[in-house]
Amino acid sequence: MRSQSEPTQSAGKRAAPPYEQIKLFLKERLENGHWTPGALMPSEADLVAKFAVSRMTVNRALRELQLEGLVDRVQGVGTFAAQLHRVSSSLTIRDIHEEVLERGHVHHATVHLAKAESASATAAQRLGVGLNASVFHTVIVHYENGVALQCEDRYVNPECAPDYLSVDFTKITPTHYLLDVAPLWEARFAVEAGLPTAREAKLLGLKITDPVLIVSRRTVNRGVPITQARLVHPAGRYQIDGVFKP
Q: By CB under 8 A, name the one of 8, 83, 110, 134 that touches a second copy.
A: 83
Contact between 230 and DNA per CB under 7 A: no
Contact between 34 and DNA per CB under 7 A: no
Stretches 57-65, 113-121, 125-133, 213-221: which one binds DNA (CB under 7 A)? 57-65
177 makes contact, choosing from DNA, a second copy, none, with CB < 5 to 8 Å by partner type, with none
Q: By CB under 7 A, name the one of 25, 27, 44, 120 that touches DNA.
A: 44
Please list every residue from 17 through 46 that binds a second copy, using CB under 8 A.
Answer: 30-33, 36-37
Cβ-defined contacts of 154-158 (< 8 Å, 24+): 154/227, 154/228, 154/229, 154/230, 155/119, 155/123, 155/126, 155/127, 155/227, 155/228, 155/229, 156/127, 156/226, 156/227, 157/127, 157/129, 157/182, 157/224, 157/225, 157/226, 157/227, 158/116, 158/134
Closest contact distance (angstroms) between CB of 107 and a second copy is 17
244 makes contact, choosing from DNA, a second copy, none, with CB < 5 to 8 Å by partner type, with a second copy
142 makes contact, choosing from DNA, a second copy, none, with CB < 5 to 8 Å by partner type, with none
Cβ contact 134:116 at 8 Å: yes
DSSP state, 52? T
195 makes contact, choosing from a second copy, DNA, none, with CB < 5 to 8 Å by partner type, with a second copy
Query: How far is it, in rounded angstroms, from Cα 106 to Cα 35?
Result: 45
Cβ contact 55:97 at 8 Å: no
Cβ contact 123:137 at 8 Å: yes
Size of the site for a second copy (CB under 8 A): 59
Can you give the binding site for DNA, defined by CB under 7 A? 7, 14, 17-20, 41, 43-46, 52-57, 59-60, 62-63, 73-79
